[in-house]
Structures are given as structure tokens and as C-alpha cells.
Amino acid sequence: MHEVVALMAGNVWKIVVQVGDVVEEGQDVVILESMKMEIPITTEAGGVVKAIRVQEGDFVNEGDVLLEIE
């Protein structure tokens, strides 16, 4: 299992995948908003989205788990 984590603190602006989606390495899965900039978060491994740990509008800190890929 691979965890996708926030690279910086910010608000979850958009979640672009759903549980059960197949993702590829390097694919955008979440977009954070920080300091009025949109920061795409990509996955480092391919697989199937097992769980999404955040909701749009949530505030996350650097290192927080956003979703799990199996």
C-alpha cells in the first residue's frame, strides 16, 4: 500500500479521484490551495485508490495522509 501525503500545509481544493479509480504513477490525485496558488499532488506509485482520508475544504498540514493506493 502507498500513502499519498501533503507536501505542504493548505486547503484541499479539489479531489480528482474516487475510491476504486485506477491511477498511474505521476497522476494528479488532489489539488491543494495554499497562498492563493493551486498545488497539484501526484502519486508516486500506480494502483487502485483504496481510501480517501480528506474532504474538499479540509485544512491539511505537511505530511498528512490524503489517500491510500493499493
Contacts of 49 (CB under 8 A, 6+ apart): 17, 18, 19, 20, 21, 22, 23, 29, 67, 68, 69
Q: Specify the pLDDT at position 1.
A: 87
Q: Which domain holds residue 47?
A: 2-69
Summarize pLDDT for 1-54 with one digit per residue, the tens.
899 999 999 999 999 999 999 999 999 999 999 988 999 999 999 999 999 999
Read off the CATH number of the domain in which 27 is found.
2.40.50.100
- The pTM for the full model equals 0.90
Number of domains observed in the structure of the chain: 1
